[in-house]
């Protein structure tokens, strides 16, 4: 079986390329969607703004596997436009340890276009002996955005607690450490306070806000998360 990784020089693309190569598959790479690849399966690891039918149409494959974080319905629209099956396989990698995380994932998530291709992609990851969750593409697209939106929310929450603690003349970090001894309270963001940045959390929280607005909703909590982040020193 021949695999392609479109965007193989990026963080996610490099991790995907390295894993599949180590698992013994023939893998070819395309940088940033340029050029043309021919493969049985093409993993798409591009910035979401260029995960488009125009970009992907340069490549020849039986199945596109989108690893990029995309808005709900993206994979369905791409499949309709390209006339090729499109599956969603979101990544949950940390930038500083992406390759290590790829080899040791907590779970593998597959948003299926059909059972046949879901089985195929699940078989690629089977040697990792990790839990594999299979569902439909809209669920996985929103679940990936939800993960980063949740992390952003937790950080903004603890930043507000830090502000209260500072006014009281006590340590917000100590408050967070004590509070997170409760098993119901995540310790993520509770120790070190400051605004969130990077490539994912701001962007994906904004994507959630946009998705909610497009559905006629008022995402008040998510908007507050972004406002707290903007106001954080």
Annotated active-site positions, please? 200
Token pair 């929280």 in the structure block, residue: 205
d(CA 92, CA 107): 9
* Residues paired with residue 2 on neighbouring β-strands, in sequence order: 26
Helices (H), 65-136: 74-82, 98-103, 115-125
Q: At what angle do helices 74-82 and 137-168 cross, to 10 degrees?
A: 150
Categorise residue 189: left if φ over 0, alpha if ψ from -120 to 50, beta otherwise.
left
């Amino acid at each position: 079986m021949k695999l392609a990784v479109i965007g193989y020089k990026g963080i996610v693309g490099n991790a995907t390329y390295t894993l599949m190569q180590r698992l013994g598959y023939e893998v070819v790479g395309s940088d940033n969607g340029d050029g043309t690849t021919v493969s049985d399966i093409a993993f798409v690891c591009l910035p979401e703004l260029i995960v488009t039918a125009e970009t992907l149409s340069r490549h020849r494959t039986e199945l596109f596997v989108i690893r990029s974080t995309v808005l709900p319905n993206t994979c369905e629209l791409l499949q309709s436009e390209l006339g090729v099956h499109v599956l969603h396989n979101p990544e949950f990698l940390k930038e500083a340890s992406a390759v290590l995380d790829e080899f040791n994932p907590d779970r593998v998530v597959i948003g299926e276009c059909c059972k046949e291709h879901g089985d195929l992609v699940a078989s690629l990851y089977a040697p990792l002996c990790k839990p594999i969750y299979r569902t439909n593409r809209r669920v996985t697209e929103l679940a990936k955005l939800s993960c980063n939106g949740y992390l952003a929310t937790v950080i903004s929450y603890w930043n507000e607690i830090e502000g209260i603690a500072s006014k009281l003349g006590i340590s917000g970090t100590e408050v967070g450490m004590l509070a997170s001894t409760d098993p119901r309270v995540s310790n993520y963001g509770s120790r070190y306070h400051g605004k969130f940045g990077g490539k994912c959390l701001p962007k994906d929280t904004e994507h959630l806000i946009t998705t909610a607005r497009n559905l006629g909703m008022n995402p008040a909590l998510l908007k507050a998360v972004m406002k707290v982040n903007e106001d954080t020193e």
